[in-house]
């Protein structure tokens, strides 16, 4: 089994400077490689440059710039070039599919936050001082960095990524051969309905409140963002105050991210502990979070009809804030580790179907919160009905599979 671990790093002041430089130099490598591909694409009769071509140049780049590029791990630089290659492959795949994707973009400061070492022992070493009580990770060009290892690492460390979030640094390990930690069977099954009013509702009728961290911290964040916006957008050299303002925003975002992840982990753990089978709807957050297409007004050319974008923007924000996709990822991970079964069901009409008589009608859903069947009169909380339908459908899926 594969598992990821994320640990806070405690670098010294000198190491913090080196980590920043490592990120900066990987970012400029990424941007330079992107520039080269752009130039080739625009000028040289649309010939394209491949990952292999750019990787082959690495040796020269390192020799040419030993102070900066020559200082870091060859493999981590290859990983950065591969990341760019992935961005291009995704771009061309979408072009081919007839979509209109954005061309891969240059990464500004703060938009390139990770350096990956594809193999433990190559430019990096996990637990580099095994005889020391303190766990450390050795990073080429940085040194032995202290790790706040808050839980034991199991399995074999495959890759190590170093990530910057706000002003914190983390090591993310991907391990394989991690033994499963199966939980004893409980005999309980559950369906979950994810919503806006509640983060989720179970088929047992239990509501888990939406934490809305963004809303709670919205004032503070808005204030910090307003302050940041008073500084010029494009500038050669940021002032101390400008940097501090940007850091404040980043810090708040990072705090929200941490709180949300913590909430997701706790919620998922509770579900996994109490149930053998967990059923949920197949989500389409990409479609849900997209803004509606503008509708041109046929009466007055050049103007647009209201399309509900403003109302939807608020909903989008709640959806993104709720972070369902992230939660389901965490849930799936924990389920696999504990030997629990996750069942995905079709989301269609789960909120409109009567769990008692099976009648499907839009009118069954009286309000956001209330369900009342127009045929048999069955009444219940709408989210609870949704979760019950999800569980019922999972039962059908499981019967069909057996």
Which residues in this chain contact Zn ion in the complex, by CB under 5 A? Answer: 354, 356-357, 359, 373, 375-376, 378
Query: What's the CA gap between 230 and 253, in Å, rounded?
Result: 19
| Residue whose structure tokens are 């199991």 | 154
* Alpha carbon 128 to its chain's center: 29
User: ∠ CA(251), CA(252), CA(255), 5° rounding?
Assistant: 85
Helix (H) or strand (E) holding 266: helix 240-274
Tell me how far, at minimum, the Cβ of 351 lies from Zn ion, in Å. Answer: 14
Distance CA 122, CA 78 (A): 12
Nearer to Zn ion, 176 or 379 (CB): 379
Of residues 195 and 355, the one with the C-beta less far from Zn ion = 355
For Zn ion, the closer CB: 127 or 372: 372
| Nearest distance in Å: CB 345, Zn ion | 20
Query: Which CB sits closer to Zn ion, 244 or 357?
Result: 357
Q: How many residues does the chain have?
A: 402
315 vs 357, beta carbon nearer Zn ion: 357
Q: Are 112 and 161 in contact (CB under 8 A)?
A: no
Structure tokens at 28: 């400029």
CB of 368 to Zn ion, least distance (A): 19
Shortest reach from residue 359's CB to Zn ion, in Å: 5
> Tokens for 123?
């430019």
Shortest Å, Cβ 202 to Zn ion: 21
With vertex at residue 27, the alpha carbon angle to CA 128 and CA 158, rounded to the nearest 5 degrees, is 35
**CA trace torsion 233, 116, 178, 131 (10° rounding):** -110
Q: Round to whole Å and give the CA distance between 275 and 186.
A: 6
Residue with smaller CB distance to Zn ion, 258 or 359: 359
Q: Kindly state the smallest distance separating residue 393's Cβ from Zn ion, in Å.
A: 16
**Are 387 and 193 in contact, with CB atoms under 8 Å apart?**
yes
């Amino acid at each position: 089994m594969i598992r990821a671990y994320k640990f806070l790093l405690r670098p010294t002041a000198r190491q913090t400077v080196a980590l920043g430089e490592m990120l900066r130099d990987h970012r400029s490598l990424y941007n330079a490689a992107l520039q080269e591909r752009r130039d080739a694409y625009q000028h040289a009769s649309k010939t394209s440059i491949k990952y292999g071509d750019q990787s082959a140049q690495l040796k020269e780049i390192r020799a040419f710039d030993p102070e900066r590029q020559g200082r870091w791990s060859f493999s981590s630089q290859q990983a950065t070039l591969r990341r760019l290659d992935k961005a291009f492959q995704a771009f061309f795949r979408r072009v081919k599919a007839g979509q209109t994707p954005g061309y891969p973009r240059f990464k500004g400061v703060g938009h390139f936050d990770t350096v990956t070492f594809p193999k433990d022992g190559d430019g990096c070493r996990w637990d580099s001082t095994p005889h020391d009580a303190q766990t450390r990770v050795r990073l080429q060009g940085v040194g032995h960095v202290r790790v706040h290892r808050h839980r034991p690492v199991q399995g074999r460390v495959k890759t190590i990524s170093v990530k910057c979030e706000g002003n914190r640094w983390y090591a993310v390990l991907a391990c394989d051969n991690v033994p499963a930690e199966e939980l004893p069977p409980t005999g309980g099954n559950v369906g979950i309905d994810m919503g806006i009013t509640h983060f989720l509702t179970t088929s047992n009728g239990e509501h888990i409140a939406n934490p809305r961290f963004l809303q709670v911290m919205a004032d503070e964040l808005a204030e910090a963002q307003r302050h940041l916006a008073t500084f010029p957008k494009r500038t050669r050299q940021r002032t101390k105050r400008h940097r501090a303002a940007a850091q404040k925003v980043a810090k708040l975002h990072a705090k929200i991210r941490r709180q949300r992840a913590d909430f997701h982990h706790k919620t998922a753990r509770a579900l996994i502990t109490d149930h053998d089978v967990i059923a949920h709807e197949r989500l389409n957050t990409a479609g849900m979070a997209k803004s509606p297409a503008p509708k041109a007004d046929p009466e007055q050319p050049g103007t647009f009809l209201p399309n509900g974008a403003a109302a939807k923007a608020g909903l989008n924000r709640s959806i993104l804030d709720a972070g369902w996709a992230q939660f389901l990822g965490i849930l799936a991970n924990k389920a696999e580790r504990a030997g629990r079964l996750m069942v995905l069901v079709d989301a269609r009409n789960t909120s409109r179907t009567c769990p008692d008589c099976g009648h499907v009608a839009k009118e069954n859903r009286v309000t956001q919160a209330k369900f009342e069947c127009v045929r048999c009169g069955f009444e219940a909380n709408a989210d609870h009905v949704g979760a019950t339908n999800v569980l019922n459908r999972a039962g059908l899926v499981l019967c069909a599979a057996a």
